[in-house]
Every structure is written in structure tokens, then in C-alpha cells.
Amino acid sequence: MKRTGGQLIVEALKANGVQRISCVPGESFLAVLDALHDSDIKVLVCRQEGGAAMMADAWGRLTGEPGICMVTRGPGATNASAGLHIARQDSIPMILFIGQVQRDAREREAFQEVEFRRAFTEFAKWVGEIDDAARIPEFVTRAFAVATSGRPGPVVLTLPEDMLRDEVEAPQAKPYTPVAAHPGRSQINDLRQRLITAERPMVILGGTRWDKDAVAGIESFAERFKLPVGCSFRRQMLFDHLHPNYAGDVGIGINPALAKEVKEADLLILLGGRFSEMPSSGYTLMDIPYPRQQLVHIHPDPSELGRVYRPDLAICASPADFVAALSDLETPTEPRWTERTERMHAAYLAWSKTPEKSPGAVHMGRIMDWIETNTADDTIFTNGAGNYATWLHRFHRFRRFNTQAAPASGSMGYGLPAAVAAKQLFPERDVICFAGDGCFMMHGQEFATAVQYGLPLIALVINNGMYGTIRMHQEREYPGRVSATALNNPDFAALAHAYGGHGETVRVTEDFGPAFERARASGKPAIIEIVLDPEAITPSRTLTEISQAKGR
């Protein structure tokens, strides 16, 4: 039976278990859109490709299976590259399909033509073009395999418009098989030996390819060995923050007490992550290439092992496969470091206590206290980048797996599209997006997508009238010389109403709780603008203090 290229794409997605895609349509892939018309794949039509790609990233992040996004050639795909970059840096499985110019117009710089196999090589794990519709099952199967194996990441497949209309015979698509790599028995023994002789061991969790069982498994391993456990930047959902073994967030603005412990550790077990610039405090916590600490590095991609830090024991396995093997390790007698683990958790608890004072009528610390008391443990928090995110990352106690969608790549604008994606995936859970005024305006138009599909997320827009992070750096480096960081903003509550959502404005701390309750009760997507004094730029220092510190 002959099928069009468009039908074969949809068939291949179905065969691989795809239930939802995000897209901004283009005339370059009408044949796929037409095939989707007859399928039960849910299509979220979005307002800008950057947001659409970030939704696919968030689906990949929260399911472990590739998030799927479809966009058109030049203008669509270049917009989508913002989401590709996040998925690449954050090791998230995702497939971006791009409708491409027809085959006989290639290399003439035809209308909107970009050669993505050249342009997107750094943004994706693999960029392929399907120029023969009969090969669609082959390319799509490979795309799923590449996106999910080793270190996961985004794959780009370009689809010439005329190829999608061709009618061809092709094999029936089959689902992909995820690739697993397990630690060997000798490696687990080696780890055991190192643990027996260590004095100050520590585990740092990061990366992707985790699941609920792996998170439970690492918790019981940490309990049995009394090990302190830190979470890498933006990977806090990997360990219960109120667990007595939790040592804190190894990220931007790390607790100095924790940074010291990481430096002084004699055995670091780095599980899943790369310990890149942000978690390593600008590459200062471990020496390159030979760390002072003994390093056991577990990563699903062999090319990441030894790339920056030379490990003493390198184990090529996904976190899930590694943790499954840990049950073979017998429980030791009382280890030497129990007291250190307790001390590290106490330091975390002290560090994550909201500050007493804050300038202005809104105290973000009290708002965080309210959120901690009044939201369920399975609430999903999303954010982009900006100083506002500190409030979430330092003071929210993440309790469960899959409650966080935040870019380690530090991309502004991610929070709202990620919240749309999260709410679509988990309609029964509260989804709260943290955004700055700058951040929100980058992909705020996807609030229309939330309204269109009835996804009642709650966006907190923390409005200090500026690109606060950059203003903070300016005040530190060039005090008093404000340049290109001040913002005039819309009335965010009115904006929410205009979209058909629920809007609130919070000008004093006490108004937050009732505003949040009304937003939740509205059953609509909601924006709560929190008007924050620009002085409240960090939990500990005001803008003026930062500005005046220069030269002291």
C-alpha cells in the first residue's frame, strides 16, 4: 500500500509512542499536518517556534522520551533554535522536524532556504535530511535512537516539501529500542573498595536518564551508606531536600559551606552530570584535568568520561542503570562520615531559611514560605533565567522526582512554555511558573496557548522593572551607570484578562496567599504579577549595597 511522506512521518511517530507534538505551521509541511488531521496525536499549535521547541524540551525532560516539535524552514527553525540549544546543553531527548524547501530548488538560496545540516550541527546531536520518502522509517527510527541513547539530546530532521507529497511503498515503522549500558561487577567492586577507604565521600546527582525508581534507589543507597548528596544546577528534583542526607544545590550561588565540603571531599561520586561551568562554580571546585578528590564519574556517554576531569573510576551507564546495580553492594558497618553528613544537611537547612528582612512592601521570602506551606509535594515548578529564580532554587524544598523543569543552560523565557507542556502532561497537578518581567515577555505569548487548550497553569511574574541580573552585574562593575537594563512593562493582570485568563497584582506580601487561592480557584491559566522593589535584587544584598561595594 502506498502512502505519502506526510502519512509515513505520522505513522512513524505513532509507532514510537508519540502522543503529542508542538508546532507552528508552515506551508512547507502541509502533507504532515494533513496526516495529523486523521491521527489521534494531540497537536498543540503555538505562537512562536522558540516556545514550541521549549515545550518539546519540557516533554522530553519530564518523560525521558523525545519531545516532538514541528516548524517551518528558515524563519521557523531559526526561532526554534532557542529550544534546541536548551535541549543540547541540558541533555534532553527531543526531535525537531523542519519543513524544508523542495528538492529541485536546493542550494539556490530559495525562499527561506537554510541548509540546516550545516547551520545546526552545534545545536543538535544529529541533523539529517530525508530526501526519499521510502526512507522515513529508517530516519525516524534513528532519530529516536540518537536522541535517547548515550547522552540524550536534540535531533533535527528536515523534510523537503515535495518529498512529503510523494506516494511510496515503505516498511511498516517499528518502535525504537532504548540503548542501555550497565556497570560491570568489577566496577561496582572498585566503587565498594573506594567507599571502604574514604574519609569524606560525597555524591553529586545530575544529568538526565533518571526515573522514579532510580531516585528512590539513590535515596536508599545514600541512607545505607550515610552519604551526603548534593544536586547539580537545575537538577534539584533528584533528591528530597528534607531528607537527612541532602546537602544542597551545587549550582550558581552555592552555599559557601557546601562549596568548602565539595573541595575538601576525598571521594566524589558524580552521577549523571558533567560538572560543567555552573555546578563547578566556574570550574573551581575540582581541578582540571586531575581533581584533588578521587573521582568516580558515572555518565551514559563514554565521550563525556574524561573529557574535562580525569576520573579514577569511569563507569559508562545511565543513572537509572547504575542505581539498579547498587543494590548488590552490602550495607557497611557505621561509616566514619555520619557526623559530616548530618552537619551538611544542617548547613543546607540553615542556608534555605528565608531571610528576615527585605526592602519594599513585598517580601519574596514570606511568599516562598507561603508556597512551601500551601502547595503539594507533587507541584511542578518551572522557570527561565533571572535573579528571581534564586527565590525558587534556594528556598523551595523540592521533594519529588519530576517536579522541576528549568534550563541549566540559563535560557530566559523557558518557564512559561515549559509550564504549558507540564500542565498538558500532568493536568491533575499544580504547575507554577516563576518568571521575571524580562523572562515572561520573551515567550509570554504562549499564555494564549495555555488558554486555547484550557491548561490552568499559574505564572508568577516577579516584576522589578528591569533585566535585574544584568543590572546587578552593571552595578557591581560600573556602579550607577545603568545601560540597557530598565524595562517599562504592561499591566500583567490586564494582559492575562485580555488573553482570557485570570489576572492578579500583588503589591504587598499579605495579598499573595489570597491572590494565589483565587487564581487556583478560577480554573483558568493565571498570571500573578508580584511587584518587587528593585532593591530586593538578591536574598542577602540590596542593589545599593552591591553598587557601593565597588572599590572597598
Ligand X SMILES: Cc1ncc(C[n+]2csc(CCOP(=O)(O)OP(=O)(O)O)c2C)c(N)n1
Residue 391's Cβ-count burial label (10 Å; 0-12, 13-18, 19+) is: buried
| Nearer CB in complex with Mg ion: 153/468 | 468
436 near Mg ion, judged by CB under 5 A: yes
Residue with cell 502547595: 375
415 near ligand X, judged by CB under 6 A: no
Distance in Å, CB of 365 to ligand X, minimum: 15
Distance in Å, CB of 469 to Mg ion, minimum: 8
476 Cβ partners below 8 Å, 6+ apart? 546, 547, 549, 550
Cross-strand bridge partners of residue 246? 229
482 Cβ partners below 8 Å, 6+ apart? 471, 474
C-alpha closest to that of 445 among 50, 71, 22: 50
464 near ligand X, judged by CB under 6 A: yes
Cross-strand bridge partners of residue 491? none
Output the residue with the shortest Cβ distance to ligand X.
436
Cα separations in angstroms, 250 against 223, 229, 277, 344: 20, 10, 11, 13
Cross-strand bridge partners of residue 160? 100
419 near ligand X, judged by CB under 6 A: no
Of 124-153, which residues contact Mg ion (CB under 5 A)? none
Instruction: Specify the stretch interacting with Mg ion by CB under 5 A; choose among 49-57, 428-436, 446-454, 514-522.
Output: 428-436
Terminal Cα distance for the chain, rounded:
78
Distance in Å, CB of 534 to Mg ion, minimum: 8
79 near ligand X, judged by CB under 6 A: no
Query: According to DSSP H, which parts of 72-184 are helical?
Result: 74-90, 116-119, 136-148, 161-165
Instruction: Specify the stretch interacting with ligand X by CB under 6 A; choose among 336-344, 368-376, 408-416, 507-515.
Output: 408-416
Binding test (CB under 6 A) with ligand X, winner from 105, 470, 497, 522: 470
For residue 385, the partner it binds in ligand X, Mg ion, none, with Cβ less than 5 to 8 A by kind, is ligand X
Instruction: Specify the stretch interacting with ligand X by CB under 6 A; choose among 64-72, 150-158, 383-391, 444-452.
Output: 383-391
C-alpha closest to that of 385 among 277, 233, 242: 233
Q: Is residue 88 within 8 Å of residue 208, measured between CB atoms? A: no
Name the pairing type of β-strands 167-168 and 3-4: antiparallel
Distance in Å, CB of 463 to Mg ion, minimum: 7
| Nearer CB in complex with ligand X: 268/439 | 439
**Cell triple for 149:** 541513547
| Nearer CB in complex with Mg ion: 388/512 | 388
412 near ligand X, judged by CB under 6 A: yes
C-alpha closest to that of 456 among 495, 494, 428: 428
Instruction: Specify the stretch interacting with ligand X by CB under 6 A; choose among 55-63, 320-328, 362-370, 404-412.
Output: 404-412
Binding test (CB under 5 A) with Mg ion, winner from 129, 430, 437, 475: 437
Distance in Å, CB of 444 to ligand X, minimum: 11
439 near ligand X, judged by CB under 6 A: yes
29 near ligand X, judged by CB under 6 A: no
468 near ligand X, judged by CB under 6 A: yes
How many residues belong to the chain? 552
Cross-strand bridge partners of residue 298? 271, 315
Considering CB under 6 A, how many residues would be counted as binding ligand X?
19
249 near Mg ion, judged by CB under 5 A: no
Binding test (CB under 6 A) with ligand X, winner from 375, 379, 382, 387: 387
Distance in Å, CB of 466 to Mg ion, minimum: 5
Spatial distance between the Cα atoms of 524 and 453, rounded to a whole number of angstroms: 10
Spatial distance between the Cα atoms of 502 and 494, rounded to a whole number of angstroms: 9
CB neighbours of residue 279 within 10 Å: 27
CB neighbours of residue 449 within 10 Å: 26
Taking residues 59 to 98 in sequence order and writing x for each that binds Mg ion by CB under 5 A, - otherwise, the string is ----------------------------------------
C-alpha closest to that of 242 among 208, 219, 218, 217: 219
| Nearer CB in complex with ligand X: 25/359 | 359
Binding test (CB under 6 A) with ligand X, winner from 99, 410, 456, 501: 410
Spatial distance between the Cα atoms of 296 and 305, rounded to a whole number of angstroms: 10
| Nearer CB in complex with ligand X: 110/487 | 487
Name the pairing type of β-strands 20-23 and 42-45: parallel
Of 463-482, which residues contact Mg ion (CB under 5 A)? 464, 468
Spatial distance between the Cα atoms of 238 and 241, rounded to a whole number of angstroms: 9
Our separate counts of H helices and E strands in the chain read: 21, 20
Binding test (CB under 6 A) with ligand X, winner from 33, 71, 325, 385: 385
| Nearer CB in complex with ligand X: 80/385 | 385
386 near ligand X, judged by CB under 6 A: yes
For residue 470, the partner it binds in Mg ion, ligand X, none, with Cβ less than 5 to 8 A by kind, is ligand X
227 near ligand X, judged by CB under 6 A: no
For residue 214, the partner it binds in Mg ion, ligand X, none, with Cβ less than 5 to 8 A by kind, is none
Spatial distance between the Cα atoms of 272 and 352, rounded to a whole number of angstroms: 25
For residue 387, the partner it binds in Mg ion, ligand X, none, with Cβ less than 5 to 8 A by kind, is ligand X
C-alpha closest to that of 472 among 541, 413, 404: 541
Residue 380, φ and ψ in degrees, nearest 5: -100, 130
| Nearer CB in complex with ligand X: 326/543 | 543
| Nearer CB in complex with ligand X: 60/415 | 415
C-alpha closest to that of 501 among 484, 513, 489, 518: 518
413 near Mg ion, judged by CB under 5 A: no
436 near ligand X, judged by CB under 6 A: yes
| Nearer CB in complex with Mg ion: 407/468 | 468
Residues contributing to the site for ligand X (CB under 6 A)? 385-388, 410-413, 436-439, 462, 464, 466-470
Residues contributing to the site for Mg ion (CB under 5 A)? 436-438, 464, 468
